[in-house]
Homo-oligomer: A and B are copies of this chain.
Amino acid sequence: MRIGELARRAGTTTRALRFYETQGLLRARRSANGYREYEDEDFRLVEEIRTLQAIGLSLEDTRPFVECLRAGHESGDSCDDSIEVYQCKLAEVNACIDRLGSVRATLLAKLAAALEAPPGPCGVAESTAGRASTTEES
């Protein structure tokens, strides 16, 4: 199949596929007129890439999975390098969740303090009725 069909089938664009090729993730043989020709196997590769991207892996992160598939494995995560990417990403995600958690706490604190304090120009108490209703908790 040609690049347009592969893009449609994989739910992506020809630009993305060409870009994957420049990154060495995808390869295509060329037909006589210079058009790229793809096999079903390439569809699987693109599917894998897209799936992993959807989880938040970078293109570079998907490389071991692609190579694993190309090496003949049934699934892209049957290789140690892929497992390692999973673990790295997991640690990264955990760290990110932690950071966001403290950011959330900080934001909640600041929001509460700001709603508590009056909007007056000098921090002096003025009339501040009916404002603390939009505070979020959870």
Interface of A is mostly: helix
A96 closest partner in B (C-beta): B100
The verdict on A78 contacting B138 (CB below 8 Å), with A90-B107, A111-B86 known, is no
The interface-forming segment of A21-29, A31-39, A117-125 is A117-125
A80 closest partner in B (C-beta): B119
Question: 1/0 contact trace for A64-102 toward B, CB 8 Å?
Answer: 000000011111011110110011011101101100110
Chain A residues at the B interface, C-beta cutoff of 8 Å: 55-56, 71-75, 77-80, 82-83, 86-87, 89-91, 93-94, 96-97, 100-101, 103-104, 106-108, 110-111, 113-115, 117-123, 134, 136, 138
